[in-house]
Structure 1
Amino acid sequence: MSFQPQALYDLSGRVAVVTGGGTGIGLIIAQGLAASGAKVYITGRRLDVLQKVADSWNEQNAGAPIIPIKMDVTDKDSIKEGRKFIEEKEEKIHILVNNAGQVGPTSPFLGNPSAPELKDGETLGHALFNNETFGQWSDLYMINTFSLFFVTTAFLGLLDKGSKDTEGYTSVVINITSISGVIKVAQEHFAYNSAKAAAAHLTKMLATEFALKKVAVRVNAIAPGVYASQMTFDEIKPEEVDKIGKGVMPVPARRAGTGQEMAGTVVYLASPAGGYVNGQEIIIDGGYVAVNPATV
């Protein structure tokens, strides 16, 4: 048994799939997994974006490759095609990161104390009712919640095969949720926060059901706080953190999270170091949840 970092966090020979892997947090995760030795397939709707970042990585790094695949996580036929492609190439996978997501409808007036929409209960109710639609909520839940179930179940057999590679190793699903799923303020987007809360509970149900059914695949979640991504900004300065976080209290760390912190948490859960973690949601938020109203 070795306690050297190279052994604890080595992903050599592992195969990973990262949805929404062409930009933001998904790309950071894909690069972190590849840097640790995993062969990484990144998926998304825009193949040109995926191809560009994959080519850039592969040209600059001699280690494990990043391979682009066009796959829409809200379309069952597209998911099946993605699974078929990877199965023909690899026969099994070891890591699935469900990262694809969107923000959805927002109600910016919730963050403005002087907004006329906040005049009284009647006014606020009308503003919220008229500002969003069932279609917007449905579309958001499709990608932020429903996709986790369908992508995970589609790839479950390949993950199960991956668990048979090394004694004591189990494949893992890592769902990227959000502190928005545990915080009790709406942060100007009720739909996004409730969808992420649903994703967090879905994570725990999948972990429990797989364990009870003796399927050797772990399921965990990571709930990031304020991180630079396509949904926020390419770079977040310290003075911008609380504007994005929209909490009642400031983020204690007084900065955004880094790519190393995000990728490092994923690598931990996917590596031998995190092999005993199952059914958990790890919050990485610089203390945001510690000082704001939350369900944990």
Structure 2
Amino acid sequence: MATYETLDLKDKVVLITGASAGIGEACAHRMAEAGAKLILIARRVAKLEQIKEDIEKAYEGAKVHIIKFDVKDLDKIGELKAGLPEEFSKVHILVNNAGVALGTPPAHENPIEDVQTMLQTNVSSVMAFVSTFAPGMVERNAGHIVNISSIAGHEAYPGGSVYCATKHAIDAYTTAMRHDLVGTNIRVTAISPGAVRTEFTLVRFGQDAEREDTFYKGFTPLNARDIADNVMYCCTRPSHVQIGDIIIYATKQSSAKSIAKNE
């Protein structure tokens, strides 16, 4: 039997939001390793510059274009697209990774400013990037949209009202988009991780390092490279294969709040 042939990502243009750390950074390295051209977007340009330098040193011939950008600036995403160099102008893979969770208050105590930040970052920006870059994919009849969701898009839990709502929205949006694009060659994927230890959790806990350390103590959580590996799996399947959703737990986790810890 012939070897199973996966999709070659060499010279494919991959746009990753929230690329300055965590899952976004890990995806950038994996995509560069596969020979893709990268557009890396984040607010922290110094971190992007360092990642660009690291990638160009690690992978011969790597091509990386970085953009300092806040995904909440929805009305400027069109300008971002218009400003892309010709070599990066045709985005083949869009990885909507930027996301945020702020605090764990009960639903009736959510600060409206945090609600707006989470909705704009986790939901509106995803829709805006799709509305900006998917038409080109439709025109070329090729492409892949990967939305980094969460197990919070499949269940809800105390202290996660807004975050769970945003990820449920992404789950519904991703499914509806797959229906909308079913007559094309564009693939649509959601990646739904469980407990992943990145700076995301530290932000959620208000930079409380002790609380973050306590949360992860006693079991081995997922890490950013684990999730990037799943993104790569989806993106490198043969063109006739579409992975709809991958739900990823740590081995000792069965739901958002069900984690077995060593004493």
- Superposition TM-score tier, normalisation by shorter sequence: 0.7 to 0.9
Question: Does the CA-based 8 Å contact 1:2-1:8 persist in structure 2?
Answer: no
Task: Provide closer, same or farther for how the CA distance between residues 288 and 173 of structure 1 changes in structure 2, counting only shifts above 3 A.
Answer: farther
Which residue, 96, 100, 107 being the options, matches 2:98? 100
| Aligned residue type for 2:185 | A
| Runs of 4+ in structure 1 over 6 Å off | none
Matches within 5 A, 1:1-296: 3=3, 7-86=5-84, 88-107=86-105, 128-129=107-108, 131-161=109-139, 163=141, 170-186=142-158, 188-211=159-182, 214-232=183-201, 243-244=215-216, 254-273=219-238, 275-277=240-242, 280-286=244-250, 290=254
Answer with 1 or 2: which has the greater Rg.
Answer: 1
CA RMSD of aligned residues (A): 2.9
Unaligned runs of 5+ in 1: 108-126, 164-169, 235-239
Please state how far the C-alpha of 1:32 moved relative to its aligned partner: 0.9
| Aligned residue type for 1:225 | G
Question: Does the CA-based 8 Å contact 2:151-2:256 persist in structure 1?
Answer: no
**How many residues are treated as equivalent by the alignment?**
250
* Deviations 1:215-271, CA, capped at 9 Å, x for gaps: 43221110111122221259xxxxx898259xxxx9xxx421244422221112112
Q: Give the TM-score normalised by the residue count of structure 2.
A: 0.83
Residue 117 of structure 1 corresponds to none
Could you tell me the percent identity over the aligned residues? 26
Question: Does the CA-based 8 Å contact 1:15-1:40 persist in structure 2?
Answer: yes
CA distance in 2, matches of 1:233, 1:35: 28
Question: Does the CA-based 8 Å contact 1:93-1:161 persist in structure 2?
Answer: no
Question: Does the CA-based 8 Å contact 2:107-2:161 persist in structure 1?
Answer: no
Please state how far the C-alpha of 1:71 moved relative to its aligned partner: 2.5
* Deviations 1:93-143, CA, capped at 9 Å, x for gaps: 210000001112422xxxxxxxxxxxxxxxxxxx753x3223321221111
* Deviations 1:154-205, CA, capped at 9 Å, x for gaps: 0013323554xxxxxx41000000112212323x221111111111111111
Q: Give the TM-score normalised by the residue count of structure 1.
A: 0.74
Unaligned runs of 5+ in 2: 204-211, 259-263
Please state how far the C-alpha of 1:288 moved relative to its aligned partner: 6.6
